């Protein structure tokens, strides 16, 4: 710690627990808080502490099974299923460090100057509610600020828990910090993210923000304006990770390869030149349209290990109407370049979207058949209705989401019971089994 943790002299950052049917640690890290932490460290005299319920490397986290490259299972406790989700025939869990352990730890600290909570999916707000309760119980009436996805997409719902901060790249958070610390500092050039806030040997970053495409089901454009970070800034951040002996870096970019000529290529030429002992992972789907010979070659040389390709569907009509980001021949060309660069098909995974309003089971099954035929594992991405997206607006118009609806209704496992998806429970099970069987047979 080092700095002054006395009453009102420090800032508490929170990454809340998750309440859901499923959750898996595919490098789920609070990048926004790592950035906010960097601002606090670089520009203020305030001390800070990150209370990360989802950090499996924390001494407070009960041991769980770890998989490759820093991924693994979260600790979970079964909890009562909320009434809105009763139809889903699965158990409902709370994932993350147990509440009692975290509260006992929080009690060691006097009340902070302010609390910043990051938020994820809109239907994960129960975790935010729990954190706010714990904060009030232990520290009383301290100012609480909320940022992140849920807070940005549903500010009026989120405002019951604290003051909602919006703004490009967290600028509003930076302004609040300036006011709290009595300092003025710029929001623009970002100091390297404070990866040291976690002990994990893996971390996350993003070399770009947002996405210039407008798929009808995606909220990327609502969260960030499309922007490339300066290459020097990303390199500085990666160097910081290397100094902390971090080995695995997951890139959270939504559009890593857009303008590859001016961004990805010069950036990763330099990463290769540096010869850092890093492995890169792409949990978000890669834009296959932009995978050319050099991109594939750089990915191999820079040690990309997890390749998730955006396919979504082989249904040309669906692609044309819902997602302008690819055509099937572009997917095949990307696979060709990646193979030529030295990746095997068994190292690749293709995202297949399921549950988008109007999408039929036969269309999804056709996509799975195609992937089986070409020897690439499918990964199902379940549709979640996200406020502000084009598909969501249609659903609101059709009366599926009244203005005051509960965000739990956005849960990604609700579509087979929703009425807006032609894929019912039985067909969904069939799709899941088929995807599992293909992935199992093609396992590396
Ligand atoms: S290309 Fe990907 S990130 Fe961009 S809008 Fe479409 S789904 Fe979202």
What are the tens digits of pLDDT across the range 394-404? 999 999 999 88
**Closest protein CA for atom 2 of ligand 1:** 254
Q: Which atom of ligand 1 is nearest to the CA of 212?
A: 4
In the reported structure, the alpha carbon of residue 353 is separated from the centroid of ligand 1 by a whole-number distance in angstroms of: 12
Q: pLDDT at position 324, please?
A: 85
- Give me ligand 1 centre to Cα 327, in Å: 14
The whole-chain average pLDDT of the chain stands at 93
Closest approach atom of ligand 1 to CA 210: 3
Burial of 295 (0-12, 13-18, 19+ CB in 10 A): buried
Residue ranges lining ligand 1, Cβ < 6 Å: 211, 213-215, 218, 220, 254-255, 323, 325
- Report the residue among 153, 206, 211 best suited for mutation to probe ligand 1: largest number of ligand atoms under 8 A from its CB: 211
Among 206, 218, 287, which residue has the most ligand 1 atoms within 8 Å of its CB, making it the best to mutate?
Answer: 218
**Hey, whose CA ends up nearest to atom 3 of ligand 1?**
254
Say what the pTM is: 0.95
Label the pairing between strands 144-148 and 163-164. parallel
pLDDT of residue 184: 78
**Backbone angles phi and psi of 39, in degrees to 5:** -60, -45
Query: What are the Cα distances from residue 420, in Å, to 30, 104, 316?
Result: 33, 44, 21
* pLDDT score for 444: 64
C-alpha distances out from residue 220 to 283, 286, 327, Å: 15, 14, 20
pLDDT for 1: 47
Q: Which residue ranges form the domains of the chain, and what is each CATH number?
A: 1-190 (3.40.50.280)
Could you tell me the distance, in angstroms and rounded to a whole number, from the CA of residue 216 to the centre of ligand 1?
Answer: 9
Half-sphere exposure of 427 (CA within 13 A, CB side): 16
The half-sphere exposure of 198 on its side-chain side, counting CA atoms within 13 A, is 27
> Probe ligand 1: pick from 213, 258, 318, max atoms within 8 Å of CB?
213
Instruction: Please identify, by atom number, the ligand 1 atom nearest to the C-alpha of residue 218.
Output: 8
Quick one: DSSP state of residue 357?
A: T
Closest C-alpha to ligand 1, atom 6: 215
Calculate the alpha carbon distances from 139 to 52, 108, 109, 134 in Å. Answer: 17, 11, 9, 8
CA–centroid distance, residue 138 to ligand 1 (Å): 41
What length is written for the chain? 444
Low pLDDT (below 70) residues in the chain: 1-2, 167-170, 189, 444
Atom of ligand 1 at shortest range from CA of 285? 2
């Amino acid at each position: 710690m080092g700095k002054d943790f006395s009453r009102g002299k420090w800032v508490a950052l929170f990454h809340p627990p998750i309440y859901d049917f499923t959750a898996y640690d595919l490098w789920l890290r609070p990048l926004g808080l790592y950035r906010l932490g960097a601002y606090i460290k670089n520009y203020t005299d305030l001390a800070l502490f990150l209370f990360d319920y989802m950090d499996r490397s924390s001494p407070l986290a009960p041991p769980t099974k770890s998989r490759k490259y820093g991924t693994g299972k979260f600790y979970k406790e079964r909890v009562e299923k909320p009434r809105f989700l009763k139809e889903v025939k699965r158990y409902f869990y709370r994932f993350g460090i147990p509440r009692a352990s975290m509260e006992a730890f929080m009690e060691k600290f006097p009340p902070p100057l302010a609390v910043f909570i990051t938020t994820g999916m809109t239907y994960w707000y129960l975790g935010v509610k729990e954190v706010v309760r714990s904060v009030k119980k232990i520290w009383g009436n301290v100012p609480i600020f909320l940022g992140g996805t849920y807070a940005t997409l549903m500010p009026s719902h989120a405002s019951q828990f604290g003051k909602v901060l919006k703004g490009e790249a967290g600028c509003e958070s930076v302004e609040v910090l300036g006011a709290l610390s009595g300092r003025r500092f710029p929001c623009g050039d970002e100091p390297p993210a404070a990866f040291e806030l976690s002990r994990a040997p893996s971390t996350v970053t993003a070399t770009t923000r947002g996405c210039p495409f407008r798929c009808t089901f995606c909220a990327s454009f609502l969260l960030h304006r499309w922007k490339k970070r300066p290459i020097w800034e990303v390199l500085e951040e990666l160097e910081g990770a290397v100094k902390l002996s971090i080995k695995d870096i997951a890139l959270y970019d939504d559009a890593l390869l857009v303008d590859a000529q001016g961004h990805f290529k010069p950036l990763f030429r330099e990463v290769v030149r540096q010869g850092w002992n890093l492995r890169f992972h792409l949990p978000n789907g890669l834009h296959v349209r932009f995978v050319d010979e050099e991109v594939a070659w750089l990915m191999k040389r820079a040690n990309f290990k997890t390749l998730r390709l955006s396919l979504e569907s082989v249904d040309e009509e669906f692609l044309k109407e819902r997602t302008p980001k690819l055509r099937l021949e572009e997917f095949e060309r990307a696979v060709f370049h990646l193979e030529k660069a030295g990746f095997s098909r068994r190292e690749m995974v293709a995202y297949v979207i399921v549950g988008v309003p109007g999408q039929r089971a036969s269309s999804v099954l056709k996509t799975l058949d195609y992937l089986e035929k070409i020897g690439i594992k499918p990964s199902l991405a379940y549709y979640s209705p996200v406020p502000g997206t084009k598909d969501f607006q249609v659903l609101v118009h059709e009366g599926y989401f009244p203005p005051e609806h509960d965000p739990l209704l956005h849960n990604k496992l609700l579509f087979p019971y929703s009425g807006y998806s032609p894929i019912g429970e039985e067909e969904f099970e069939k799709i899941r089994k088929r995807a599992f069987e293909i992935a199992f047979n093609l396992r590396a």
